[in-house]
Structures are given as structure tokens and as C-alpha cells.
């Protein structure tokens, strides 16, 4: 039976509750508490939805998960700047002495042959004569005495290749000089005088192969072109030296 039946009898909900309690005490067995003869009731009207509850407290932290798979290698970064030099390390111990190498084969005996000279003109305003050896009478170097300052000629004692060079100051007149070998012109040089207020220079050289007793000197070819000049401030020089000798065996001239 539904609630309307009891309400029609004048019973309130509290009265019904008290009546239910008395009946429960009067018959302790559950089988006796069953009411019979009542009609089944109809389903009640659904109640209104309750209000949403307040948010609960945050739960505890979960356990650490398993390590994930390694990621792909990243791109290569830029090269860093060089670091500062480290401190100097301690000096290491001396190494063991190495073994001596094998003695080399004895070479052939070599004798060095020398021949060189250099001389200059005296401080004079006298120009040289034509077609005669120019006298460079002030000796600068002549250890082997192969040059004669009195004649102005070099005489070969050691056969080989020589280099001769003339540095001349030109003043007041033109100059043409030749480097001579045994009365034959090897090379010739010319400087034209154009009324310059100060001296100028004329230089020339030649490689000459000489045999023993060959002679080399400097000669003015033309009379009016003899302006080889020297003074206290400028010089004219004649120099020659041996580059290499033709002698292959170790022997000396007597």
C-alpha cells in the first residue's frame, strides 16, 4: 500500500514510524513482520538531482614510471672557442743515449783553390791613356798576388772560370772602357757625358774562362772617352775572383 492509504486514515508519517516500531517488537521473527492483505504500491516520483559535491583533495603522487626510449641524436653544436693554454708540465727524464751510426765511406780529398783581388784608382784627376791598361794602383785585396797594381793586369795562376767587374765614376767627359783578355775585347761599356753638374757611374762585368798565364785588364778604347774619375768622395774599382777551378786532382803549382 502506498502512503495515500495511511494518510486517508489520518496517520502522519511520524505515527506510521511509531506503529512500525511497535509491530517490530511484538513479533521478533522476520516472518511474522510481513504484512499481508495490502495492495502493492506504485513507484514513487524520482527525486530531484542532488547538488554537485565539492572537489576532492589532490591525490598522492604516483610511482615513478619506467625510463622512456632514448631520443634521436641532436644536431651538432657550434665549435667552442679554444681553451687557454694549460700550465707547463714538468721536464721529463733524459732519454737513453742512442747507438752510434755506422762510419761513412771516406771521401775523395778536395783542395780549395783561391784567387781574388780588388783595387781602385788613386785620388787624382788624371785620366787614363788610350789603348793601355788602366792602372788601379791602390790595392784593396790581393792575397795571392795574382794582380799587379803597377801594370793593372791580372795574371791567371789557377785555371778555371773567373768573374771580373768594373765600377767607374764618370765626370767631365764621356767614357768607354773594355774588359780585355790577352789583347782581345771581351766586353765593352759606354757612358755619354751630357754636361752633368755631378759625377755619374758606369759599371760592367764579364765571366771569363782562363788558362794559366792568361791576362785580364781594363782598357780605354777611344781617347776622348777616357772619363774614369776618382776623388776623395768617389772611387773607380777593378775586381776579379775565381768561381771554380778546372783542376780535378789535388796538386799545386810550383
- The model's pLDDT over 215-241, given as tens digits with 9 standing for 90+, comes to 999 999 877 888 888 888 889 999 999
Contact between 248 and 185 (Cβ < 8 Å): no
Contact between 119 and 137 (Cβ < 8 Å): yes
Contact between 208 and 159 (Cβ < 8 Å): no
Predicted pLDDT of residue 7? 57
- H or E segment to which residue 17 belongs: helix 13-26
3-state helix, strand, coil in the chain (%, to 5): 10, 30, 60
Mean pLDDT of 36-65: 76
Confidence bin at 152 (pLDDT 50/70/90): very high
Predicted pLDDT of residue 254? 37
Mean pLDDT of 239-252: 79
Cβ neighbours around 226 below 10 Å, total: 19
Q: End-to-end distance of the chain based on CA atoms, in angstroms?
A: 168
**For residue 228, what are the CA distances in angstroms to 74, 128, 231, 234?**
85, 7, 11, 11
Mean pLDDT of 135-161: 96
**Rounded-to-integer distance, Cα 102 and Cα 100, Å:** 7
Please tell me what DSSP assigns to residue 11: -
> What is the sign of the dihedral through the CA atoms of 141, 145, 147 and 151?
positive
- H or E segment to which residue 52 belongs: none
For 116-245, the fitting CATH number among 3.40.1120.10, 3.50.50.60, 2.60.120.40, 3.40.50.720 is 2.60.120.40
| pLDDT higher than 60, residue 82 | yes
Residue range 105-123, pLDDT digits in tens: 665 555 778 999 999 999 7
Predicted pLDDT of residue 139? 97
**For residue 70, what are the CA distances in angstroms to 73, 74, 90, 151, 154?**
9, 11, 44, 101, 94
Strands (E), 132-249: 138-141, 147-148, 153-155, 160-181, 184-191, 200-210, 215-220, 226-229, 237-245
State the span(s) of the chain assigned CATH 2.60.120.40: 116-245
Predicted pLDDT of residue 219? 95
pTM for the structure as a whole? 0.55
Please tell me what DSSP assigns to residue 163: E
Least confident of 38-47, 51-60, 132-141, 232-241: 38-47
Predicted pLDDT of residue 253? 45
Residue range 160-193, pLDDT digits in tens: 999 999 999 988 889 999 999 999 999 999 998 8
Q: Which of 193, 203, 188 is nearest to 173 (CA)?
A: 193
Residues 6+ apart with CB under 8 A from 6: 16
Mean pLDDT of the chain: 82
Cβ neighbours around 120 below 10 Å, total: 18
Q: Which residue has the cell 504484512?
A: 35
Mean pLDDT of 196-202: 87
Least confident of 14-18, 203-207, 239-243, 248-252: 248-252
Amino acid at each position: 500500500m502506498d502512503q495515500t492509504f495511511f494518510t486517508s486514515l489520518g496517520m502522519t508519517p511520524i505515527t506510521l514510524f511509531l506503529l512500525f516500531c511497535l509491530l517490530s517488537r511484538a513479533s521478533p521473527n522476520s516472518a511474522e513482520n510481513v504484512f499481508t492483505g495490502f495492495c502493492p504500491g506504485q513507484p514513487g516520483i524520482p527525486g530531484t538531482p542532488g547538488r554537485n559535491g565539492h572537489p576532492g583533495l589532490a591525490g598522492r603522487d604516483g610511482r615513478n614510471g619506467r625510463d622512456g626510449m632514448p631520443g634521436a641524436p641532436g644536431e651538432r653544436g657550434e665549435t667552442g672557442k679554444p681553451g687557454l693554454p694549460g700550465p707547463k708540465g714538468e721536464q721529463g727524464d733524459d732519454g737513453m743515449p742512442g747507438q752510434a751510426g755506422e762510419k761513412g765511406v771516406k771521401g775523395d780529398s778536395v783542395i780549395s783553390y783561391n784567387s781574388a783581388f780588388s783595387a781602385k784608382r788613386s785620388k787624382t784627376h788624371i785620366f787614363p791613356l788610350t789603348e793601355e791598361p788602366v792602372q788601379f794602383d791602390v790595392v784593396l785585396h790581393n792575397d795571392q798576388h795574382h794582380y799587379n797594381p803597377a801594370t793593372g793586369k791580372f795574371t791567371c795562376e789557377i785555371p778555371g772560370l773567373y768573374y771580373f767587374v768594373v765600377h767607374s765614376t764618370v765626370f767631365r767627359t764621356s767614357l768607354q772602357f773594355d774588359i780585355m783578355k790577352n789583347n782581345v775585347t771581351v766586353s765593352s761599356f759606354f757612358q755619354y757625358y751630357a754636361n752633368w753638374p755631378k759625377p755619374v757611374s758606369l759599371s760592367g762585368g764579364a765571366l771569363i774562362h782562363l788558362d794559366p798565364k792568361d791576362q785580364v785588364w781594363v782598357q780605354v778604347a777611344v781617347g776622348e772617352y777616357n772619363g774614369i774619375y776618382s776623388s776623395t768622395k768617389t772611387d773607380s774599382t777593378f775586381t776579379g775572383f775565381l768561381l771554380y777551378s778546372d783542376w780535378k786532382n789535388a796538386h799545386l803549382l810550383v
